[in-house]
């Protein structure tokens, strides 16, 4: 995975779940104009899926959902359809915020795609593009 900052340390669990979320979101994007946002949670050796309402508050929805039982969450990933800008050019992209308990920050991953292509064509490789306040922290 490409990284915007090689100094960041990301656990294998976060990286793996982020890639799964990107793959699932891109698979869902095939043949549909938008991807419904969702959260993946790893807990007790299982991976759980929770669909969210498609609106402007997906990060808040995910944080509220994760706050219900944060003690059992080992790793989480919020995936949603969005846009990223690279060198002044906007691209359709899947964005994933992934993290784990005890970490001060979560990480933001993306996969750009050409939504006009059928099937949807990937642009570049999945990339780490930054950090985000953990969705398990109060007030996120």
pTM, full prediction:
0.89
User: Number of structural domains, the chain?
Assistant: 1
Structural domain includes residue 140: no
Q: What does the alpha-carbon distance between residue 68 and residue 61 come to, in Å, rounded to a whole number? A: 11
Structural domain includes residue 138: no
8 A C-beta contact, residue 94 and residue 35: yes
Structural domain includes residue 24: yes
> Mean of the pLDDT values across residues 12-25?
95
Structural domain includes residue 26: yes
Determine the structural domain holding residue 105 and report its residue range.
2-133
The tokens for 102 are 């005890």
Structural domain includes residue 37: yes
pLDDT (0 to 100) of residue 75: 95
pLDDT tens digit sequence for 57-109: 899 999 998 888 767 889 999 999 999 999 999 999 999 999 998 878 999 99
Region of residue 130 (left: phi > 0; alpha: psi -120 to 50; beta: else): left
Structural domain includes residue 117: yes
Region of residue 42 (left: phi > 0; alpha: psi -120 to 50; beta: else): beta
């Amino acid at each position: 995975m490409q990284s915007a900052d090689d100094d960041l340390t990301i656990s294998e669990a976060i990286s793996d779940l982020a890639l799964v979320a990107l793959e699932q979101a891109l698979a869902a994007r095939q043949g549909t104009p938008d991807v419904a946002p969702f959260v993946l949670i790893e807990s007790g050796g299982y991976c759980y899926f929770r669909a969210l309402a498609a609106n402007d508050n997906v990060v808040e929805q995910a944080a509220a959902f994760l706050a219900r039982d944060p003690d059992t969450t080992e790793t989480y990933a919020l995936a949603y359809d969005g846009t990223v800008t690279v060198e002044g050019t906007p691209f359709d992209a899947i964005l994933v915020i992934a993290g784990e308990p005890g970490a001060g920050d979560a990480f933001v991953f993306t996969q750009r795609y050409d939504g006009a292509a059928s099937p949807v064509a990937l642009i570049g490789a999945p990339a780490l593009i930054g950090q985000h306040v953990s969705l398990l922290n109060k007030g996120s």
